[in-house]
Amino acid sequence: MEKVELIYEGKAKKLWSTKDKDRLIVEFKDDLTAFNAQKKSQEAGKGALNCEISADLFDLLAQNGIRTHLIERIDATHQLVKRVDIIKIEVVIRNIATGSLTRRLGIKEGTKLPFALAELYYKDDRLEDPIINDEHAQIMNLATQNEINALKDIGRKINGVLSAFFADRALTLVDFKVEFGRGDYGEILLSDEISPDSCRFWDARSGEKLDKDRFRQDLGGVKVAYEEVLKRIKDKR
């Protein structure tokens, strides 16, 4: 399957049409952005790392009953995916308080939450992806209440699968963001990516951050951290 036309360019990925109207090609870029692209950089090889990490995690989730848009990884930086009608809601699942949760509510950094917290954000760069609740999502016709319930349920199920998988690899899944689309029959499909750009991973022993916080907080060693995450995914223990 080959790229035909560029149909969308986001901060970290490009989306191409193919000869098959039901299939798209996703290209993972080396661009790194944070704080709604107020901070920008590039990291050679980052696109390939996220392409492989995300494909491996989507395969793992598919094996655990989560439906995804992924058909196959084509090469180092490209994936073939089903075309979906993207739902303009970002679902964030949190196990430990950090990032915007601590800033917004003053919950102490590193607090283990009593249950996995599901949050919704309106996917709109112009508005800087504001946090919303179920009723906002319904009023704005982003999704039905049944769909919102499904997004949170699937988000929590993903959290269960990935938390256990990474715990076996001495990584703590602190929080992550996922996006979904509707397939041909309205079925909800996990879309976009799951990678160190969209998750927080802390080394279970040292607490070292192995994700995009290294870029957000100028800690250095971004690529080494992403390589370490991929290595642990591949590490069958």
Q: Which two tokens stand for residue 132?
A: 């919303």
Which of 147, 173 has the CB closer to ligand ASP?
Answer: 173
- Closest CB to ligand TMP: residue number: 99
The 3-state DSSP class for residue 87 equals strand
Among 216, 228, 230, 233, binds ligand ASP (CB under 6 A): 216
Residue 194 CA to residue 28 CA, distance in Å, equals 12
Burial class (CB in 10 A: 0-12, 13-18, 19+), 225: buried
- Residue number with CB closer to ligand TMP (3 or 169): 169
Residue 163, H or E segment? helix 145-167
The residue nearest ligand ASP at its CB is: 33
Q: How far is the CB of 10 from ligand ASP (least distance, A)?
A: 9
Instruction: Give the footprint of ligand TMP on this chain (CB under 6 A).
Output: 92, 99-101, 129, 175-177, 198-200
Q: Give the DSSP H or E segment for 200.
A: strand 199-203
Q: Which amino acid is at 203?
A: D
Of 53 and 147, nearer to ligand ASP (C-beta) is 53
* Closer by beta carbon to ligand ASP, 58 or else 121: 121
Q: How far is CA 160 from CA 80, 115, 125, 163, in A?
A: 26, 11, 29, 5
Edge to edge, the sheet with strand 23-28 lists 6-9, 13-17, 23-28, 78-82, 70-75
Min CB(201)–ligand TMP separation in Å: 9
Residue 33 binds ligand ASP, judged by CB under 6 A: yes
Angle between helices 145-167 and 46-63 (to 10 degrees): 100
The piece of 31-39, 58-66, 151-159, 227-235 that touches ligand ASP (CB under 6 A) is 31-39
**Residue 34 touching ligand ASP (CB under 6 A):** yes
Q: Does 37 bind ligand ASP (CB under 6 A)?
A: yes
Pick between residue 82 and residue 178 the one whose CB is nearest to ligand ASP: 178
Structure letter (DSSP) for residue 126: G
Site for ligand ASP, rule CB under 6 A: 11, 33-37, 212, 216
